[in-house]
């Protein structure tokens, strides 16, 4: 499904997409769940040192509400809850890979600038 954007609607669309990912921990959580990984809450907690239990719950609930993460409840004793990405959430992977590639290009360019400075010249 192709969508024709204007400058204004494109900017608004990107801004709305970024709002879904804002927050210190959402991207970290996403990267732990990419590739079809399904993790228990306690596994996520251990995998992300520094995040409080309350914050992890808040971020997971928000991403679940936004349709990025799915919560899987196994009715057993003790209760078991797991988290995985929805298909839509998994579809973020190529976009974030492209963003990483874009950022790496900057780092490579900055590295070239630093080498030129060390040599006493310009790039």
pLDDT digits (tens, 9 = 90+) for 32-83: 999 999 999 999 999 999 999 999 999 999 999 999 999 999 999 988 999 9
Q: Which two three-digit tokens encode residue 82? A: 């797991």
Q: Report pLDDT for 42.
A: 94
Write down the domain spans for the chain. 7-86, 91-123
- CA–CA separation, 96 and 47 (whole Å): 20
- CA–CA separation, 104 and 56 (whole Å): 29
- CA–CA separation, 46 and 53 (whole Å): 10
> pTM to 2 decimals?
0.79
CATH number 1.10.10.10 is the correct assignment for the domain at 7-86: yes
């Amino acid at each position: 499904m192709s969508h024709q954007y204007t400058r204004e609607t494109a900017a608004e669309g990107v801004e709305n997409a970024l709002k879904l990912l804002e927050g210190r921990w959402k991207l970290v959580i996403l990267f732990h769940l990419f590739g079809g990984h399904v993790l228990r809450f306690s596994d996520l907690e251990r995998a992300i040192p520094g995040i409080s239990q309350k914050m992890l719950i808040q971020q997971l609930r928000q991403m679940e509400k936004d349709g990025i993460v799915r919560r899987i409840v196994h009715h057993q004793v003790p209760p078991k809850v797991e988290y995985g990405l929805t298909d839509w959430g998994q579809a973020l992977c190529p976009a974030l890979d492209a963003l990483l590639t874009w950022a790496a290009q900057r780092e490579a360019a900055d590295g070239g600038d630093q080498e030129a400075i060390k040599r006493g010249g310009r790039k």
